[in-house]
């Protein structure tokens, strides 16, 4: 099988500062200020060409960070990501420039993807039509609702016909009719054998659409397998999590962070 994505030992570290002073001191002095925070810790995972993989996990588990790294929007701190093909990320407002109009954003994104002027002029009407932005297309994106931004992002990304499509919560905003139209477009991509990554909190959408699931927890891979294998385990976990008291949740979190430290320590 041909590999579409190979993520090897990927770690993403953010610095958390207590205020601007600490941030500045960290920049201008040799001493290190602020706390290290690991959004991803030594993540390994591979997607075959044509795989449709859902990323699941509770809030802050690292789903968006990983999808942004695969899409090339955010750099990894260490490890490597190999992507065979052109990827496009659809997230609410991902990569959109707020001060530019919808039309200028389309042109900019296409230019950055290497399309020429003629190709851009050809694609533009299709994108505008798909986005259903009509008279708003020449207004600055900062005046758009989150649904409008998401529609624009989705319309650009699906119309550039990427080899790898990464969809981050794009279907959770906007109206039902648009979500349905988008899902149909994704099914079309599925039939064409494209590789897709789907980030969503909706397990219903995951079950309907994905074949494999990557479950992230505290920035680590908790499980990776077929939908049938992983979703029931995750549903069971959510049931337990809901039953936990605040103290139990705190202990669970502390154990998770402890595990994360072990994983990072093993690596280094």
Ligand X SMILES: Nc1ncnc2c1ncn2[C@@H]1O[C@H](COP(=O)(O)OP(=O)(O)OP(=O)(O)O)[C@@H](O)[C@H]1O
Residues that bind ligand X in the complex, under the rule CB under 6 A: 14, 37, 39, 57, 59-65
CA separation (Å) from 253 to 17, 117, 126, 234, 258? Answer: 21, 51, 47, 16, 9
Q: Which is nearer to ligand X, 62 or 174 (CB)?
A: 62
Query: 3-state class of 213 per DSSP?
Result: strand
CA separation (Å) from 77 to 13, 36, 116? Answer: 6, 12, 33
Residue pair 83/106 in contact (Cβ under 8 Å)? The answer is no
Structure tokens at 97: 């420039």
Q: State the nearest-atom distance from the C-beta of 26 to ligand X, in Å.
A: 13
Q: Which is nearer to ligand X, 59 or 191 (CB)?
A: 59
Q: State the nearest-atom distance from the C-beta of 15 to ligand X, in Å.
A: 7
Q: State the nearest-atom distance from the C-beta of 59 to ligand X, in Å.
A: 4
Q: Which is nearer to ligand X, 60 or 72 (CB)?
A: 60
Q: Which is nearer to ligand X, 59 or 266 (CB)?
A: 59
Q: Which is nearer to ligand X, 131 or 206 (CB)?
A: 206
Buried b (16+ CB within 10 A) or exposed e, 101-138: bbbebbbbbbeeeebeeeebeebbeebbebbbbeebbe
Q: State the nearest-atom distance from the C-beta of 168 to ligand X, in Å.
A: 8
Q: State the nearest-atom distance from the C-beta of 110 to ligand X, in Å.
A: 27
Residue pair 165/196 in contact (Cβ under 8 Å)? The answer is yes
How far is it, in rounded angstroms, from Cα 88 to Cα 91?
10
The strand pairing partners of 10, in sequence order, are: 43
């Amino acid at each position: 099988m041909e590999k579409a994505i190979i993520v090897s030992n990927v770690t993403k570290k953010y610095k958390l500062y207590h205020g601007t002073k600490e941030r500045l001191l960290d920049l201008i002095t040799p001493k290190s200020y602020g706390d290290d925070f690991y959004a991803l810790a030594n993540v390994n995972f591979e997607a075959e060409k044509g795989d449709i993989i859902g990323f699941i996990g509770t809030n802050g588990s690292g789903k968006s960070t990983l999808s942004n790294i695969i899409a090339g929007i955010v750099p990894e701190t260490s490890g490597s990501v190999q992507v065979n093909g052109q990827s496009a990320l659809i997230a609410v407002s991902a990569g959109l420039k707020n001060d530019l109009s919808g039309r200028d954003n389309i042109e900019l994104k296409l230019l950055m993807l290497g399309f020429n002027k003629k190709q851009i002029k050809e694609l533009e009407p299709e994108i505008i039509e798909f986005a259903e932005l009509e008279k708003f297309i020449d207004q600055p994106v900062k005046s758009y609702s989150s649904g409008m931004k998401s529609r624009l992002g989705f319309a650009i990304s699906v119309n550039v016909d990427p080899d790898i499509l990464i969809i981050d919560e794009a279907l959770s905003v906007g109206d039902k009719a648009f979500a349905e139209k988008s899902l149909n477009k994704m099914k079309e991509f599925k039939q064409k054998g494209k590789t897709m990554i789907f980030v969503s909190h909706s397990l219903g959408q995951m079950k309907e659409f994905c074949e494999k699931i990557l479950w992230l927890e505290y920035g680590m891979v908790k499980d990776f397998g077929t939908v049938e294998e992983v979703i029931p385990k995750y549903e069971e976990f959510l049931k337990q999590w809901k039953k936990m008291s605040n103290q139990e949740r705190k202990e669970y979190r502390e154990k998770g962070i402890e595990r994360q430290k072990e994983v990072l320590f093993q690596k280094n």
